[in-house]
Structures are given as structure tokens and as C-alpha cells.
Amino acid sequence: MKDPRPQPIYRRDYRPTPFLIDEVDLAFDLRAEQTTVTAELKVRRIGDPTAPLVLDGERLQLQSVAIDGEPLAEDAYTVTDATLTIPNVPDTFTLRTEVVIFPQDNTELSGLYRSGQTYCTQCEAEGFRRMTYFPDRPDVMSRYRTRIEADAAAYPVLLSNGNRVDAGTTDAGRHWVRWEDPFPKPCYLFALVAADLRCHAGTFTTRSGREVKLEIWVEPHNIDACEHALSSLRKSMAWDEQRYGREYDLDLYMIVAVSDFNMAAMENKGLNIFNDKYVLARPQTATDEDYENIEGVIAHEYFHNWTGNRITCRDWFQLTLKEGLTVFRDEQFTADMTSPAVKRITDVRGLRTAQFAEDAGPNRHPIRPDSYIEMNNFYTVTVYNKGAEVIRMIHTLLGEEGFRKGMDLYFERHDGQAVTCDDFVAAMADGAGVDLTQFSRWYAQAGTPTLVAEAEHDRDAGTYTLTLRQQPPSDTPDAPPLHMPVAVGLVGDDGRDVALTPDQAGPKVTVRGTTAICELTEAEQRFVFTGVTGDVVPSLLRDFSAPVRLHAPHTPDDLAFLMGRDGDAFCRWDAAQIFARQILLEAVAKADAGGPLDPRFVEAWGRILADERLDGSLKALMLTLPDERVLGQAMDVVDPDGLHHARERAVTELADANATTLDATWDALAPKGPYANDRDAIASRRLRNAVLRYRCAVSDDGRRSAALAQARTQLDHADNMTDAQAAFVRLVEAGGEHRDAATESFYATWRQDPLVLDKWFSVQAVSGQPDTLARVRALCEHADFTLDNPNRARALLGVFSVRNQVGFHDRSGGGYALLADKILELDRRNPQVAARLVGAFNHWRRFDEARGAAMREQLHRLVGTEGLSRDVYELATKALG
Ligand code: 0A1
Ligand code: ZN
């Protein structure tokens, strides 16, 4: 191991920086064999007068160091593989260093690296130190000037943050550009690009009348696929002005798309760098989901300009300060651009699948972690998505107006600073005039709380009493109670909400429309509503008002009723999920897993299918049975095979019971014209493809063959990737000749398009066919498979290990061995991406003994490997416990 037993860093050890760097002058001289980076730093001491200057630096070949123009002798400083230390420095001075780096050999994609012919950078969290010596911590904010020099023919485009202020040519066909960023920023927001790219340009006029140039930079052959990204950026800019009163602050906003990128995108000031998967869109190659993800990620990075860049994090433990808040803002944006109900359901589904699992596993951590070994391992669904749920709860508690007041105060108080989560919560509380002291426990408490609801209805007195009880996660039974908003409605017989009058003497309740926000602050509290005389069914945790596991007192009849009638779309969908979960778990528990489904569910499902008023997107979500992973979370010992078969059987039974309606719905939803990317067209495609899934599962051979033939036609003739991919999935799932022919033709059509080829790998990796493991193994050897491209590695291995529960947990243990092999192979090149794959082993304790032992064996194998990265080491040791 490079670093035997890497040591954790603790939040409690934070110390203010002894030195600030007010100005940074960088020069990059890019050459094929090496890149020289010269840095001039204006250093100012603000702490301990005796402290030496300690700068971070990794894999740098130091050429020279000078202070105020005087070169330092070699014994005047010390260099280790992580730092440069200079004792006895003055209180203010200019430090000049020159280093040599090798971006062409950088396979970790952190720091300065090459993606194809493009030079680009990724500095968050700690990549800047791979380019020059610097105090690489976010509470050091500086103004940057950057000079880039490179071969003019090979790298005509030279970009960095801020404004382009000067340019020129030098000898032998080289040219240079100078950039200046007027806004002080932490070094993780620095960016540089040198490439041969084309620009899709536009403008945006801010509400104060300033014209901002917008530029999307891509490889020449993708220039036709940028308009959606550009229009997403414009929408984001307008939305942030309108919803939060925030304008963009520079005159230029650039987005560069690259093919090799560890994450989705990066919010570098004025120069975002994106994984091209989140930029490029054409109807023929991008699905509706891709279009929506692109809009969402562009918005996310844009919103960071205020929540992240203007106000940044004091230290990396505060990551959720910028990420939770920015995810919340992008969720609000997407809800406004699409459908709030569909967006909310999709997000909760994701949260339950990934974050609840993380919260229940060995890498559980509070949204503000207390320690880490490798910071890159903490860009998690907990920090991001549970972090966003915490912000959402603040929004629910404060209301839209109070939330805006809090945000206004946050911007006013902290603009230009590097701050903590406590600073944020204090600004929200002060701005809105509320007390969030107890609420702030959400930042410190790991794990998912359980919420138990019980209802009592005294019809004669008209009192409806809801008892809410919160239980901390089982490993921290003494954790103090949290402050959580529980949104409640009471649905009358006629399907309408009854008016709610909370008892004044009880705990705090705010009524908004026909929904009551009950503020639960103790372990158990009773909320009483008066004047409830008729029969009602409670609709609980509306819009998923708190990230908890809810145990509600609903009977199957209540669930069937809520499925059909609840006015809260989230609860309506959730009633279907809960009902389906119950019947599927019962089916698994029955040894033969056979027998018909509860007829009340089948009937309620059929009514949803036939409900003509229901929006197609929502209907598609409601018709989809819970994911096998979510079902697994509810079992004492996960039975991947039992779950898969029970779910497949349920799909067939539902399809058989509704065969005619499914056929009719399919026919009725046939595209009326050429592809359109509007809400109605998207809803139709979603529903039609959800229906196709059932039609391809009916037990009647004739019907099924007809449906598969239609899927084949759809694959061959669709004018858009949404329909083509949906049909491809059906044919792959059908196996046999259907699969062989479809796999071959999809490949033949798309082999030249990397992002579509990723889909080709993923669809095969996620298949429930029994031979999927063998096929994934073979696909690892395919000429188009490579571990060097993160998207490709994730498309096959990430999808197989995370999204294919039945395939990955194949009894043979072969899935585990394959994944560990590939993690080790990848770890030598790109530890960040390798580490992300380790999570598939997290839940070994939840499986039967044989599977558990086989997973553990692979984890031991990882940990025992010499030269393992800190990234993989941290997660694999945690998984072993
Ligand atoms: N801040 C980015 C995510 C990001 C984080 C780390 C990266 O490299 C290790 C890259 C991107 C965001 O939230 O979009
Ligand atoms: Zn972010």
C-alpha cells in the first residue's frame, strides 16, 4: 500500500488558515512532453507570527522557489510528496514557484489532464495542488490572473475563468491568452481549457439590462447538439433572478463539454466543465430523461454561482452547505419547468433507493460528516440529496416567504465569504425570525429516522387525533428527537380533503390549504383536529415532507382508496408503492411465490390504468412496481431471486388482467406527428413505453409476440432515442433471438456515438435474463469497452452492480469476483471512479450467509492489495466494519 493505514481528518481539528493569498498569477506553458506552471502568489500572514508557510502540492517537479524575487537555496525549504514548507517567511511577500507536471499521463482526471485532444482541469476537491504549490483549502479566496500558452494549430481555444484580457503569439506557431477573474475565489473553482473546440453562442440580458455572452464549447462534430444546453442555461439564469433575485455577475458564461470526467459537471467560476453526457442532446441520441438531466445539471452548476461560488464552504466538512442547497434549488427549478408532482416522486424514489441504503450501511454519515480519509468519497447522496431534503424541510417550516427572507439575509451577510452550515442555519433563522436550534440536529445525525403514525377518530366529538412518534436509527437509540415537519391531510369519502382545524392547545401546526404542517419536536406528540365528523382516511407525509421511513396505520382498503383519490400526488403514488410492496413481500414469503395477487390491488391498479384524467407521466410512475432494491430494504434477509421472480410474476398478472386496456392504451397513444420535446409528448412516450413493458409480459403467446414485434418496429423506426431505447430494453429482456437481433442492430446503428453506446452497454447490464452475468463478463472484453472512460466504466459495471440486484448477486458469486477484479484494475488508473464501485459490497450483512461470505471475501481481497488507493481503502475497510 502506498500509504499504509491512511489516517482520517476530523472536522473538530479545523484551524483557521495562518496565511491568505490575495492574488494569484499563473502561467501555464503547455507542451507535448511536459507542462510548466509558474505561480506568483501575494501572501499575507493573518495568524501565528511564527508559523511557517506550508503549501500543498502533489506530483509536482519543483524547479525553483523565490521570495520577493530572491531565489531560495535548497536548504531554505522542505519538500515532501504532499507539501512545500518554508520557515521564517515575512508577513507579506510574493512567492514565485515553478513546477513541471505531466497532464498527458494523468489518468485520475484530477488536476490538469487530457480528455482526448483537450486539456482541461478538475480542481474540486483537492486537484489544484496537482498543478502548483498552494494552500489548497476553500477558505483561502484569491483573485486570479492566468496566462495560457500552447501550440496555436492544435489548441486554438485557450480558456480560463473571468474575462479574456489579452492575447498574442510567440515563436514557432505558439500563441497565448491572458484571463482575469475579478471575483475572489477558492482554488477549487479554478479552471483551464486548451483545445480545438467549436462554440455554440448566445446571449442573455439580465434584468438590470446587462448583456451576458453565453458559450457552449464542444468538439466540432457535436456542434449540432448544443441548443438544448444553451436554452437550459438561459432558463436557469431567468429563474434565479425571478425566484431568488440573483443575477449573474460576469459578462461571459462558458460551458465546455469533455468526454472523460469523473462526475456530472463542475461549477468553476465563469467556466463550467461538463461531462458531455450532460450537454449534448439531439432527439435521435438523447432520451427525454437525458434532456431533463441536462437541464437540471446545467441549472445546478449555474445556481452554484451564488450558492457555492460567491458564498463558499469554510472547509470540506461543510460541503452540504453548497451542495444540499444547490440540489434543492435545482429541484425547485425542474419542478417549475416540468411537473412538480412528477419531479418530487422521481426524487423521492431516488432518495429511497440510494440514500436510504447509504444511511443504513457502513458508510452512513451525517450530511455534515465528522471525519474522512479521502474527501472525494464524500460527494455522496447523503451530502447532496439528503442535504437537499434538509433544506426542503427548512423551506416547509419557514414557508416560501420566510425562506426567501432567510436566503436574502444569507446572501447579504456572507457574500464573498467561506462559511459553515451553522452560519447558513443562523441566517435562515434570523431572516425568517424563527428558532432553528433543534432543527440543526439534522446536520449532525446520521441514519434515517422512523416515523410511526397512529390515528384515532371520535366521530361523535368530531375529534381526529394523530399520534406521531419518531424513532432514531437503531444504532443510535439515544439520539435526541429531531424537529420535523409532517404534512398531513384528511381525505373524505368523496375523495376531497376536509378542512382542518388544529386544536390550539396542541403542538405547533400551520395549515396551508387543506394540508396541515405538524411540527414534531418530541419523541411522541399528539395532534388533534376538531370538527371532523365524516369518515376520513389520513394522507400522511404529503409531498414527502421529511426524509423518514413512515409506518402508517393504513389498511389495504385505505391504500386502494388513496391510490385512486388522494389529492396529494406524492401520497397517491406512495399508496400504490406501499400496497405493491406488501403484496410482493407476501408473495416472496410464500414458499412457492405463486398464487394470485390481492384482488384489491389488481383492481386499483386497473383503475389507475383506465383513469383518463391522470397525467401520463404520473400514471406511468404509478403503474411501475417498486424497485427490487427498495423491496430488498424491507426484508430481513434480502432474497434477490425471490424478489425478482415475484415482481416479474406480478407484472404478468397485472398485464393479463388488463390485456385489452393495455392494447387500447398503446394504440391510443401512438405518436400523432414527428418528435416533440414538450410536456404532453413526453408524457405520452412515458406512458406508452410503460404500457409496452406490460404488454411484452402477458402470458398469452400470441399477444406477447405481437407486442414484441411492435417493439421491434419501434426500435427500427422511432425518430427519437426515448422510444428506441425503450423498445431495445424490451427486446433485450425478452432474451433469445429478440435479444440477439436487437443487440446487433442497435450496435450497428450507434457504434460511433459514445454516449449512445453507453446505453447499449447499460441496457444489457441491467437485464433480468438469467445469463446476464456471463454476458457482462463478455462485454468487459468487448472492443468498445474501456475502463479509461468513466462513463463507459459506469455504464457497464456501475449499472450491473448497483441496478441489477438479481444479476449482480448471482448465487455463484461470480458477479462479486468480476466487480472486485475491475475495481482493482481501475484503481491503478482512476481511484475516484474505482471507489464509487465499492459501494455495491456495502450490504453484505443483509444477504444470506453464502452471499455475505463471498462479498466479504472480495472486500478482503481489495483491502489486502498492495498499492491500493486511499479512496478504495477507506470504503472497503468501512464496508468490512
Ligand atoms: N461540485 C460539483 C461536483 C464535483 C465534485 C467533484 C468533482 O471531482 C472530484 C467534480 C465535480 C457539483 O456539485 O456539480
Ligand atoms: Zn453541486
For 557-584, write each residue's pLDDT tens digit: 999 999 999 999 999 999 999 999 999 9
CB 295 within 8 A of CB 235: yes
Nearest CA to ligand 1 atom 2: 266
pLDDT for residue 171: 86
Q: Ligand 1 in contact with 108 (CB < 6 A)? A: no
CA-261 nearest atom, ligand 1: 10
Ligand nearest to the CA of 321: 2
pLDDT for residue 4: 60
- Supply 816's cell numbers: 462479486
Question: What distance in angstroms lies between residue 239's CA and the mean position of ligand 2's atoms?
Answer: 17
Residue 354 DSSP symbol: I
Ligand nearest to the CA of 125: 1
Give the DSSP H/E element, type plus range, for residue 528.
strand 524-530
- Supply 241's cell numbers: 433572478
Q: Ligand 1 in contact with 267 (CB < 6 A)? A: yes
pLDDT for residue 1: 45
Q: Give the predicted TM-score (pTM) of the model.
A: 0.99
Ligand nearest to the CA of 322: 2
Amino acid at 438: Q
Pairing of strands 450-458, 515-520: unpaired
CB 387 within 8 A of CB 323: yes
Describe the crossing of helices 814-827 and 849-863 by its angle, rounded to 10 degrees.
20
CB 78 within 8 A of CB 85: yes
pLDDT for residue 186: 98
Over its C-alpha atoms, the chain yields an Rg (Å, rounded) of 28
CB 476 within 8 A of CB 447: yes
Q: Ligand 1 in contact with 122 (CB < 6 A)? A: yes
Long-range contacts at 573-578 (CB < 8 A, ≥ 24 apart): 573/345, 573/618, 573/621, 573/622, 574/348, 574/541, 574/544, 576/604, 576/605, 576/608, 576/622, 577/626, 577/630, 578/552, 578/554
Residues in the chain where the model's pLDDT stays below 70:
1-4, 591-594
Q: Ligand 1 in contact with 268 (CB < 6 A)? A: no
CA-122 nearest atom, ligand 1: 8
Question: What distance in angstroms lies between residue 266's CA and the mean position of ligand 1's atoms?
Answer: 5
Question: What distance in angstroms lies between residue 32's CA and the mean position of ligand 2's atoms?
Answer: 33
Cα separation, 75 vs 867, in Å, equals 31
Of 109, 115, 122, 124, best ligand 1 pocket probe by most atoms within 8 Å of the beta carbon: 124
Residue 716 Cα to chain centre, angstroms? 32
Cα separation, 870 vs 5, in Å, equals 9
Nearest CA to ligand 1 atom 12: 266
Question: What distance in angstroms lies between residue 715's CA and the mean position of ligand 1's atoms?
Answer: 35
Q: Write the Ramachandran bin of 462: left for phi over 0, alpha for psi from -120 to 50, otherwise beta.
A: left
Residues comprising the chain, all counted:
881
pLDDT for residue 386: 99
CB 797 within 8 A of CB 764: no
Residue 499 DSSP symbol: P
Q: Cell 531560495 identifies what position?
A: 72
Ligand nearest to the CA of 379: 1
Question: What distance in angstroms lies between residue 316's CA and the mean position of ligand 1's atoms?
Answer: 12
Nearest CA to ligand 1 atom 1: 266
Q: Write the Ramachandran bin of 495: left for phi over 0, alpha for psi from -120 to 50, otherwise beta.
A: left
Q: What angle do CA 418, 424, 425 make, to 5 degrees?
A: 155
CA-300 nearest atom, ligand 1: 14
Phi, psi (degrees; rounded to nearest 5) at 863: -65, -30
Residues in CB range of 736: below 8 A, 6 or more apart: none
Q: Ligand 1 in contact with 374 (CB < 6 A)? A: no
Alpha helices (H) in 224-318, listed in sequence order: 227-244, 288-303
Catalytic residue among 108, 126, 267, 301: 301
Q: Ligand 1 in contact with 265 (CB < 6 A)? A: yes
Question: What distance in angstroms lies between residue 442's CA and the mean position of ligand 2's atoms?
Answer: 20
Pairing of strands 163-169, 174-186: antiparallel
Q: Ligand 1 in contact with 385 (CB < 6 A)? A: no
pLDDT for residue 593: 56
Question: Is there a catalytic annotation at residue 247?
Answer: no
